């Protein structure tokens, strides 16, 4: 008998299972293929505390307090993973990196403004910059936010 079943053996599933076990719960991890072979293994394996659902959308759908909670737990989750890497001496090439968002057209420019506005309402730090390190022409100055990379 288990207290929880975790579906998916990527970085999120493994971290969740570890947290549950550390809190005294008995859990089972279910993975369709190999541990770490799905999204975690098939991408750059980056972690971020900025989600597909923007903070503006979260505020509109769930209220400012819950949107702020989303911002906080995103940062906390990355901190948990970073701590686990240190505590278990896992050689992962974990690095904290800057990420850039930029607009190529007027529609994206409006989206970018909404992203920046929502982020500021929940205390998620973003700032506009005049230049980015990539040779990509963009319509609006790009805000950047600190994103976190975990590279296995």
Nearest to 7 by CA among 46, 33, 25: 33
Dist. CA 59–CA 55, nearest whole Å: 6
pLDDT per residue over 4-43, tens digit each? 999 999 888 999 999 999 999 999 999 998 888 777 777 7
Rounded CA separation 65/71 (Å)? 10
In the predicted model, is pLDDT for residue 145 greater than 60? no
Q: Is the whole model's pTM more than 0.85, yes or no?
A: no
Chain centre to alpha carbon of residue 32: 23
What's the whole-number mean pLDDT along residues 117-123? Answer: 93
Q: Using the CB atoms, write b or e for 72-96: b if 16+ within 10 Å.
A: eebeebbeebbebeeeeeeebebee
Domain ranges of the chain: 1-43, 45-149
CA distance 27 to 50: 28
Q: Does residue 1 surpass a pLDDT of 50?
A: yes
């Amino acid at each position: 008998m288990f207290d929880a079943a975790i579906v998916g053996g990527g970085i999120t599933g493994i971290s969740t299972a570890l947290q549950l076990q550390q809190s005294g719960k008995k859990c089972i991890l279910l993975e369709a293929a190999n541990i770490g072979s799905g999204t975690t293994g098939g991408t750059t394996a980056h972690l971020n505390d900025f989600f597909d659902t923007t903070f503006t959308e979260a505020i509109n759908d769930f209220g400012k307090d819950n949107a702020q909670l989303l911002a906080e737990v995103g940062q906390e989750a990355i901190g948990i993973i970073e701590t686990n890497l240190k505590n278990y001496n896992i050689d992962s090439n974990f690095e904290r990196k800057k990420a850039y968002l930029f607009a190529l057209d007027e529609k994206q420019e409006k989206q970018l403004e909404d992203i920046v506005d929502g982020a500021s309402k929940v205390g998620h730090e973003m700032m506009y910059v005049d230049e980015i390190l990539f040779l990509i022409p963009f319509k609006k100055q790009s805000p950047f936010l600190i994103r976190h990379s975990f590279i296995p």
